[in-house]
Chains A and B, each alone.
Chain A
Amino acid sequence: MRTYRRTKFTLAVITFLSVAFTFGLGGTVFAAEGTASSSECIKCHTDLKKMDQYGAASAAGAAAIAG
Chain B
Amino acid sequence: MRGRDTYGVDKDYVDSVHGKIGCINCHKGKNVSDKDKAHEGLVKDPSEKDGGGVCIQCHSDITSKYKHSMHYKLTGIFNIVSTIIEPNKIPDTILPAAAKLDCLNCHASCGSCHVAWPKVAEGGLLNRHRFEKNPPMDKTCYACHGSRYAGEYMGKLGPSPDVHYEKYQMVCTDCHKGEFLHDTQPASATRFYAVRQPMCTDCHPNAVPGKSNIAMHNAHKKDEVACTVCHATEYFNCVNCHVSLDVKEAGKIKVIFPSEPLETFKIARNYDRSKYNPYKYDLVRHTPMKKDSLASFYWFQDVLTGKPGPKDLIANYDALPTWNSASVHTIQRKTKQNSSCNACHGHKDLFLTKDDLVPSEPTANLKVIVNKIPPMIKERR
Contact = CB atoms under 8 A, between A and B. Distances in A.
B20 A46 contact: no
Interface residues of A, number: 25
Interface string B97-126: 000000000000000000000000000100
Given A35-B19, A39-B31, A40-B32, A46 B9 contact: yes
A34 B29 contact: no
Contacts of A40: 31-33, 38
A56 B372 CA distance: 58
Interface residues of B, number: 28
Interface string A23-40: 000000011011111111
Interface string B3-38: 011111111001000011111110101011101001
B128 interface: yes
A56 B204 CA distance: 46
A6 B99 CA distance: 68
B268 to A, nearest CB: 41
A45 B31 CA distance: 12
A44 B27 CA distance: 15
B250 to A, nearest CB: 16
B31 A44 contact: no
Interface in A6-60: 30-31, 33-48, 51-52, 54-55, 59
B22 A38 contact: yes
A25 to B, nearest CB: 15
A35 to B, nearest CB: 5
A36 B10 contact: no
A55 B35 contact: no
Give the one of A35, A36, A41, A59 with max B CB within 10 A: A41
Given A46-B9, A46-B10, A48-B128, A38 B31 contact: yes
B6 A51 contact: yes
Contacts of A59: 4
A4 B6 CA distance: 63
Contact of B6 (A35, A41, A54): A54
Contact of A37 (B4, B7, B8, B22): B22
Contacts of A45: 7-9, 23, 129
B272 to A, nearest CB: 42
A65 B11 CA distance: 34
Nearest to A55: B6
B22 A52 contact: no
Contacts of A62: 2
Contacts of A47: 8
A39 B20 CA distance: 11
Given A35-B14, A55-B124, A42 B23 contact: yes
13 contacts: A31-B20, A34-B22, A35-B14, A38-B25, A40-B31, A41-B23, A41-B38, A42-B23, A44-B35, A45-B23, A47-B8, A51-B6, A55-B5
The list of the 3 closest CB pairs from A to B, nearest first, reads A34-B22, A51-B8, A55-B6
